[in-house]
Amino acid sequence: MCGIVGCIGINDPVKYLIEGLKELEYRGYDSSGIAVMDEEDLKIIKAVGKLKNLEEKVKKIKFKNPFSGIGHTRWATHGKPTELNAHPHKGHFSAVVHNGIIENYQEIKNKLLKEGIEFISQTDTEVIVKLFEYYYEGDAFKAFKRVLDEIDGAYAILLITKKEPKKIFFAKKGSPLIVAKNDKEIFFASSDAPLIGYANSAHYLEDGEFGWVDDEIHLFNDEKEIIPAFKPLPSNKESAKKGGFRFYMEKEIYEQFDVLKENTLGRNTKDGIKFDELDKEFFDDINNIIISACGTSYHAGLVGKYLIERNAKIRVDVEVASELRYRDPLLSKDTLFVVISQSGETADTLETLKMAKKAGLKTLALCNVDNSSIVREADRTILLRAGIEKGVASTKAFATQVMTLWMLANYLGDKNEYDAINEAIEVTKVDTSIHEKIKRLSKRYLHGHGFFFIGRDIFYPLALEGALKLKEISYIHAEGYPAGEMKHGPIALADPELFVVALLSKNILFEKTKSNIEELVARDATTLTISSEYIEMTDDFIKISEVNHPMVEFFEMMIITQLLAMEVAIRMGNDVDMPRNLAKSVTVE
- Mind telling me the catalytic residues? 2, 584
Contact between 530 and ligand F6R (CB under 6 A)? no
Task: Give the distance between the most distant pair of CA atoms in the chain.
Answer: 81
Segment 568 to 587, residues that bind ligand F6R, using CB under 6 A? 585-586
Q: Which stretch binds ligand F6R (CB under 6 A): 38-46, 114-122, 171-179, 338-346?
A: 338-346
Three-state DSSP class for residue 171: strand
Q: Which is nearer to ligand F6R, 535 or 572 (by Cβ)?
A: 572
Task: Return d(Cα 474, Cα 472) in angstroms, integer.
Answer: 6
DSSP assignment, residue 193?
G
What are the CA-CA distances from residue 255 to residues 250, 259, 329, 403 (Å)?
Answer: 9, 6, 39, 15
Least Å distance, CB 346 to ligand F6R, is: 3
| The binder of ligand F6R chosen from 31, 85, 349, 410 (CB under 6 A) | 349
Helix segments in 427-535, DSSP class H:
432-442, 459-474, 510-522
Distance CA 347, CA 587 (A): 5
Task: Name the one range near ligand F6R by CB under 6 A: 230-238, 339-347, 419-427, 439-447.
Answer: 339-347
Choices 132-140, 257-265, 343-351, 503-511 (CB under 6 A): range interacting with ligand F6R? 343-351
Query: Interface residues for ligand F6R in 286-325 (CB under 6 A)?
Result: 294-297
* Angle, vertex CA 239, rays to CA 200 and CA 174, nearest 5: 60
Alpha-carbon distance of 10 to 37, in angstroms, equals 12
Minimum distance from residue 473 beta carbon to ligand F6R (Å): 9
| CB-nearer residue toward ligand F6R: 267 or 390 | 390
Residue 106 and residue 118: Cα distance in Å, rounded? Answer: 13
Q: Which residue in 352, 394, 529, 562 binds ligand F6R (CB under 6 A)? A: 394
Residues from 444 through 503 that contact ligand F6R (CB under 6 A): 468, 472
Work out which of 125, 335, 346, 562 binds ligand F6R, going by CB under 6 A.
346
Closest approach, Cβ 297 to ligand F6R, in A, equals: 4
Q: Whose Cβ is closer to ligand F6R: residue 393's or residue 478's?
A: 393
Judged by CB under 6 A, which of 342, 363, 474, 527 binds ligand F6R?
342
Residue nearest to ligand F6R (CB): 295
End-to-end CA distance of the chain: 11
Q: How far is the CB of 26 from ligand F6R (least distance, A)?
A: 11
Q: Residue-wise over 191-216: b if at least 16 C-beta within 10 A, else e? A: bbbbbbebbbebbbbeeebbbbbeee
Dihedral (CA of 369, 479, 453, 459) sign = positive
Distance in Å, CB of 450 to ligand F6R, minimum: 19
Q: SS3 for 460?
A: helix
Instruction: Please list, in sequence order, all residues whose beta carbon lies within 8 angstroms of the beta carbon of residue 502, skipping any fewer than 6 positions away.
Output: 454, 455, 483, 513, 516, 517, 520, 527, 528, 529, 530, 531, 538
Number of residues that bind ligand F6R (CB under 6 A): 15
For ligand F6R, the binding residue among 393, 421, 464, 517 (CB under 6 A) is 393
Smaller CB distance to ligand F6R: residue 89 or 584? 584
Angle formed at CA 15 by CA 13 and CA 21, multiple of 5 degrees: 100
Nearest to 343 by CA among 76, 587, 6: 587
Interface positions, 404-423, toward ligand F6R (CB under 6 A): none
Interacting residues with ligand F6R between 69 and 108 (CB under 6 A): none
- The 137-176 contact track toward ligand F6R, x by CB under 6 A, reads ----------------------------------------
> Measured from the CB of residue 577, what is the shortest distance to ligand F6R in angstroms?
11
- DSSP state, residue 491: G
Exposure of 128 in the CB half-sphere (CA atoms within 13 A): 34
- What is the Cα–Cα distance from 294 to 283, expressed in whole angstroms? 24
Task: Confirm or reject binding of residue 341 to ligand F6R (CB under 6 A).
Answer: yes
Applying CB under 6 A, does 190 fall inside the site for ligand F6R? no
Question: Measuring CA to CA, how many Å separate 323 from each of 320, 465, 472?
Answer: 6, 19, 21
- Residue 302 CB, shortest distance to ligand F6R, in Å, is 13
CB under 6 A: which stretch of 259-267, 337-345, 449-457, 563-571 binds ligand F6R?
337-345
| Smaller CB separation from ligand F6R, 493 or 582 | 582
Q: Which is nearer to ligand F6R, 342 or 529 (CB)?
A: 342
Are 553 and 529 in contact, with CB atoms under 8 Å apart?
no
Please answer whether residues 570 and 563 qualify as being in contact, where contact means their C-beta atoms are separated by less than 8 angstroms: no
Identity of the residue, 255 or 472, whose beta carbon is nearer to ligand F6R in the bound complex: 472
Helix (H) or strand (E) holding 127: helix 126-135
CB atoms within 10 A of CB 555: 26
Residue 386 CB contacts under 8 Å (≥ 6 apart), including other chains? 259, 263, 342, 368, 396, 397, 399, 400
Closest approach of ligand F6R to the CB of residue 111, in Å: 35
Output 353 or 458, the one with its CB closest to ligand F6R.
353
Nearer to ligand F6R, 86 or 557 (CB): 557
Q: Nearer to ligand F6R by C-beta: 190 or 297?
A: 297
Query: Angle 295-312/459-474 helices, nearest 10 degrees?
Result: 170
Min dist CB 510 to ligand F6R, Å, is 29
Which is closer to ligand F6R, CB of 296 or CB of 505?
296
Residues that bind ligand F6R (CB under 6 A): 294-297, 341-343, 346, 349, 393-394, 468, 472, 585-586
